[in-house]
Amino acid sequence: MSKKLLKNLHLINPCSEPAFIENAFVAISGDTIESAGSSLPAGEYDEIHDLGGKVALPGMINAHHHLYSSLAIGMPLPKNNPANFVEKLKEVWWKMDLALDHDSTQACFEAGLLDSLKAGTTTVIDHHCSPSYIEGSLSLLADTGEKMGLNISLAFEITDRNGEEKFEASLNENLEALEKYSGSHHVHPTVGMHASFTLSDDSLKKIHDAVSSLDSWGIHIHVSEDMADEHDAADRGYGSVLERLNQFDLLNQNSLIIHGLHIKETDVNLIGELNAMFVHNPSSNANNRVGMTPNLNLDELGSGLGTDGMQANMLREGKEGMLIRSSHLPGGAASSDYMRLLFGNNPEIASKLFGRKIGRILPGYQADLAIYDYSPRTPITESTVFGHVFFGLSELPSDVITRGEFRIKDRQLLMHSEKEIKANAVTQAEKLWNHF
């Protein structure tokens, strides 16, 4: 088992004790952090890396991503101007995901995970949809994540909107991934569902019947992103979206509940009672003009932070989320702690899903680090960490380590060609746009 010593770096370890260590080291054994601190440990190492005073953060976690949207930048505008959230889905995203084939999906995975890696995001909890390329899509994502050295959580969106045949194929793709990856160290399978309003009661029952006999499973689903979801549940005779899902025994401690902007107090209590996981996606919510998750829900539910496919950079997502929320608050009003969401709650979610310690620079955690060539213009101390993380570290990391191995070193991507990945993505984007 290879042993590495990283020395002469400054550790910023938010939501951990201590939160900052100057002139620190990190000792790595295999893919795990063995020790970290200020006094160099004795012993022999296969590799010793002098980081020259760079600043290290834990490798970050995206608690809800849509890698299939990686080729959406600059895509053609819809012919009809969507007037609401559901129209936006119909006119934009449901046309785009239906146009994805194997090659364009692969380009999405490669380019999206490359951007994640470059931003220091080393664990991605993804929610995938490519209705014209279902069978094998989750294995393709797992293989791409393995090549990049990232932790990947898998899910394929099950929905009724593309007909019964594609519903069955999507369900089977999730079930096969559960069987194939349930014991994997770096891949965590979940049961992906688009949203309650695109699934009938019969479909919810089919999903429950298919997974109820399995030892371990959890759903990954958009909930109450827009009031249309709640109105649909009410029209079907349910008190809320979450009450509907719970009626079919689809909620448990392994569930990922995404968005939840318009959930009721009883829904918040239900999520808490079940110990399910809740994820907030502020930049996407702002872009879709669907509202803002209440502070109380984020705090009571220990919310994680995702991007909903908007971007790969979690530091930027945290900063944007904080500023979006602040813009709606009067002076002196309390906001939410986005440092806690990103560096406290996300590691708890990822560690729970993968069954091991992820997301902190502490002994026993997977050795994932985002290292920045950062020269601060004000002192870094435990009390100033917040400001430096969200307002100082504006550049991408110069070095990224995952599973104890350098994936990016001195701004150079190792083992992959960024030029080739991006060139293929451009080619596939042009084909995709012409197709839909």
For the chain, give every domain's residue range. 3-58+359-403, 60-354
What span, in angstroms and rounded, lies between the C-alpha atoms of 6 and 334? Answer: 39
pLDDT tens digits for range 193-217: 999 999 999 999 999 999 999 989 9
Integer distance in angstroms from the first to the last C-alpha of the chain?
49
What span, in angstroms and rounded, lies between the C-alpha atoms of 174 and 142? Answer: 13
pLDDT of residue 77 exceeding 90, the answer is no
Band of residue 371 on the pLDDT scale cut at 50, 70, 90:
very high
Q: What pTM value is reported for the model? A: 0.97
DSSP code of residue 101: -
Give the number of other Cβ atoms within 10 Å of residue 232's Cβ.
18
Angle between helices 102-118 and 418-435 (to 10 degrees): 140
- Distance (Å) of CA 307 to CA 63, 126, 133, 281, 352: 8, 10, 24, 5, 20
pLDDT tens digits for range 168-184: 999 999 999 999 999 89
pLDDT of residue 436 exceeding 90, the answer is no
H-run or E-run covering 121 = strand 121-126
pLDDT tens digits for range 329-351: 888 888 999 999 999 999 999 99
Band of residue 1 on the pLDDT scale cut at 50, 70, 90:
confident
- pLDDT, position 80: 85
pLDDT tens digits for range 238-268: 999 999 999 999 999 999 999 999 999 999 9
Question: What is the average per-residue pLDDT within 149-161?
Answer: 98
The one-letter code for the residue type at 120 is G
H-run or E-run covering 137 = helix 137-148
Residue scoring higher pLDDT (435 or 229): 229
CATH, domain 60-354, list 3.40.50.360, 3.40.30.10, 3.20.20.140, 3.40.50.300? 3.20.20.140
- pLDDT, position 42: 86
Angle between helices 102-118 and 137-148 (to 10 degrees): 30
Instruction: Express as a percent the part of the chain with pLDDT over 90.
Output: 94
pLDDT of residue 79 exceeding 90, the answer is no
Q: How many residues does the chain have?
A: 436
- pLDDT, position 360: 98
Q: Measure the CA dihedral 268/284/75/128, to 10°.
A: -40
What span, in angstroms and rounded, lies between the C-alpha atoms of 382 and 399? Answer: 23
CATH, domain 3-58+359-403, list 3.30.70.260, 2.30.40.10, 3.30.465.10, 3.40.50.300? 2.30.40.10
Exposed/middle/buried for 75, CB within 10 Å: 0-12, 13-18, 19+?
A: middle
pLDDT tens digits for range 378-432: 999 999 999 999 999 999 999 999 999 999 999 999 999 999 999 999 999 999 9
What span, in angstroms and rounded, lies between the C-alpha atoms of 278 and 257? Answer: 5
User: What region, left, alpha or beta, does residue 380 occupy, with left being phi > 0 and alpha being psi -120 to 50 degrees?
Assistant: beta
3-58+359-403 and 60-354 agree in CATH topology: no
Average pLDDT along the chain: 96
What span, in angstroms and rounded, lies between the C-alpha atoms of 367 and 17? Answer: 17
Locate tokens 């100057």: which residue?
22
pLDDT of residue 47 exceeding 90, the answer is yes
Band of residue 284 on the pLDDT scale cut at 50, 70, 90:
very high
What span, in angstroms and rounded, lies between the C-alpha atoms of 248 and 231? Answer: 18
What span, in angstroms and rounded, lies between the C-alpha atoms of 339 and 150? Answer: 22
Q: What's the per-residue H, E or C state across 349-370? A: HHHHHHCCCCCCCCCCCECCEE
Exposed/middle/buried for 84, CB within 10 Å: 0-12, 13-18, 19+?
A: middle
- pLDDT, position 215: 86
